Amino acid sequence: MTNEEFGLVVERYERLVYTICYQLVRDHQEAQNLAQETFLSAYTHLERCREDEIKPWLARIAANKAKDYLKSAYHRKVAPDQDTLESRAGAPAPESAPDEIYVAREGERAIRDKIYSLKEPYLQVSVLYFIHGRSVEEIALALGRPKKTVQTQIYRARNTLRQQIEEGGGP
């Protein structure tokens, strides 16, 4: 594949690759960086892909780059604080209309309120997991509970929240 042909591939699939990255990392800047990394990796390993399989191959590379980023120590160290989390989690794209931004933030606020209304033993686990983004292992260590217990409590809290949302007609 020539450089010109690869340039056409980039133009054709740049939105797909960006979308895959954004869906996983939920950060526009990082999704752009990961999309660039995806195409760089694809370019350096072009010999591994047949031309008729380029789309799924690029999609797989993009997903793997995003997953690697989410697992990275950098991402865990620079995890967003609650204010950043509130402004970004599920937030609409920057070009969204003000009413869309308002609706998204109200939905987040309603879900956060439902999490804070849970009773123990689900409250602490849910706040740490859903709001602060802690891993099951971190929560188990912090609360002095077995890992399996924490997993069960997260599962039950998620089901309780889902049921509350369905009964309430939304978040």
Query: What does the pLDDT average to over 107-115?
Result: 78
> For the chain, how far is it from start to end, CA to CA, in angstroms?
49
Angle, helices 147-168/98-116, rounded to nearest 10 degrees: 130
For residue 81, what pLDDT is reported? 47
Q: What are the chain's domains? A: 3-77 (1.10.1740.10), 82-168 (1.10.10.10)
Q: Specify the higher pLDDT residue, 98 or 8.
A: 8
Task: Say whether pLDDT at 75 is over 90.
Answer: no
Higher pLDDT, 112 or 55: 55
- At residue 83, φ and ψ (nearest 5 deg) are -65, -45
CB contact set of 140 (below 8 Å; sequence gap of 6+):
146, 147, 149, 150
Angle between helices 3-25 and 28-44 (to 10 degrees): 140
Give 47-73 pLDDT, tens digit per residue.
Answer: 888 878 899 999 999 999 999 888 876
* pLDDT of 95: 55
Contact 69, 77 (CB under 8 A): no
In this prediction, residues 129-147 reach a mean pLDDT of 86
Q: Which residues contact 49 (CB under 8 A, 6 or more apart)?
A: 42, 57
Average pLDDT, the chain: 80
Closest by alpha carbon to 110, among 132, 77, 79, 86?
86
* Residue 99: predicted pLDDT: 62
Q: What was the pLDDT predicted at 14?
A: 93
Q: Using CB atoms within 10 Å of the CB of residue 19, give its burial: 0 to 12 exposed, 13 to 18 middle, 19+ buried.
A: middle
Over residues 11-38, the pLDDT tens digits come to 999 999 999 999 988 888 999 999 999 9
The phi, psi pair for 27, rounded to 5°, reads -145, 115
**CA atoms of 108 and 52, how far apart (whole Å):** 42
- Categorize the per-residue pLDDT at 120 as very low, low, confident or very high, splitting at 50, 70 and 90: confident
**Is residue 61 a contact partner of residue 16, using CB atoms and an 8 Å limit?**
no
Count of all residues that appear for the chain in the document: 171
